[in-house]
Amino acid sequence: MAGPIILVLNSGSSSIKFTLFSGAAAHLDGQISGLGAQPHIKLKSEVSETKIDRPLSDEEGKNHASALSALLPVLEEELGKQTVDAVGHRVVHGGITYSEPLRITSSAMYRLKSLIPLAPLHQPHNVAGIEAAQAAFPKALQVACFDTAFHRKHPWVNDTFALPRTFYDEGVRRYGFHGLSYEYICSYLKTTAPELYAGKVIVAHLGNGASMCAIRDGQSIGSTMGFTALDGLPMGTRCGQLDPGVVLYLLTTKGMTPQEVSDLLYKDSGLKGLSGVSQDMRTLTESDDPRAAEAIEYFVFRIRRELGAMAAVLGGLDTVVFTGGIGENATVVREKVCQELDWLGLHIDPAKNNAREEDISAEGSRIKTLVIPTNEEEMIRRHTEKLMATADVRA
């Protein structure tokens, strides 16, 4: 292997996604899923050859630390006498403090844990993954890369809520998320289409988690997600935009506890709650249940509504980019979103869309419409390698 050995980890509530890089080359890519329930490991090599696809024992898959321990022999076999130089971690929330990647120290870990209330669905598991990696690779540099960092230069009007100023000063503000994905798309455009990068771009990151971002000259100036990853578009199991009065109603009139409300909004709403069928867009598009069709229509409606809002934020629009699992693969969603957008000058070519081409713009369309696969792992690798090469390792 040539170049620094970097392991990228994306730790979720019941999973760990990982990619092993040597320099810019990805040698191994995989996921450990079902932690604490039905743990399973799947691992592919750089040539997409499946090397491992098997259940883990309950002991191996009981938590993040045991899962990484189960992965170690595979990594050691791949590395030979080489060792992991650095581990790059996706961390969902950086609060008001962190606007760039940083080396993880004990003081930094303390601050990352203090942000758990701002991202209760993600941050605890990001932290657990870091602690497991520190134990597994004690000599490696540990680097945190934040999903909120890309948005930290929002204009103030898109960063605040109309609450007393003291709340803003305490950190109650619109953070925005999926920043690593947006940053990758921007880097791709800057390399392949610099004239689009320099223009007014809306990126729709559509997946189990979904959001949209207004970007001008590579800088985020508006995002559909806010204080938490609940806001904005409906998602797989998350509600998206919601009148805060609904929460008050659930707490007072319905007598629900805060935890019950949290579970409802994070785990039982969105496409899952609307359809009563599934949170998976593939299942919904194949279903003949009318509720599945209604869930898709609501999802599309919200995307179209936010697209218009983001165009207003930008003062115009040059490019729309679809990315994320749904954005990259659900041709029917892209088609529905782009219908009747003549007023924006946006037209797509149905044949190009169905053929999954990168540029799905119709001939003569004023707005360029692209489908670009995101790569958050590659973005984390770049940040980690850059931090390895600099003396700036602030914590």
Active site residues: 147
The DSSP code sequence of 251-317 is HHTS---HHHHHHHHHHS-HHHHHHSS-S-HHHHHH---HHHHHHHHHHHHHHHHHHHHHHHHHTS-
DSSP 8-state secondary structure symbol assigned to residue 239: -
Q: Percentages helix, strand, coil for the chain, rounded to the nearest 5?
A: 40, 20, 40
Cα 308 versus chain centre, distance: 22
Residue 376 is labelled as binding a ligand = yes
Residue 153 is labelled as binding a ligand = no
Residue 327 is labelled as binding a ligand = yes
Residue 375 is labelled as binding a ligand = no
Q: Are 370 and 359 in contact (CB under 8 A)?
A: yes
Residue 280 is labelled as binding a ligand = yes
Residue 325 is labelled as binding a ligand = yes
Residue 88 is labelled as binding a ligand = no
Cα 100 versus chain centre, distance: 16
Residue 86 identity:
A
Residue 255 is labelled as binding a ligand = no
Residue 316 is labelled as binding a ligand = no
Residue 364 is labelled as binding a ligand = no
Nearest CA to 9 out of 31, 25, 26, 27 is that of 31
Spell out the long-range contacts of 361-367 with Cβ–Cβ below 8 A and sequence spacing 24 or more.
367/317, 367/318, 367/319, 367/320, 367/341
Residue 289 is labelled as binding a ligand = no
For residue 203, the SS3 value is strand
Residue 281 is labelled as binding a ligand = yes
Residue 207 is labelled as binding a ligand = yes
Residue owning tokens 């409802």 = 264
**Binding site members for substrate:** 90
**Binding site members:** 10, 17, 90, 205-209, 280-282, 325-329, 376
**Binding site members for ATP:** 17, 205-209, 280-282, 325-329
**Binding site members for Mg(2+):** 10, 376
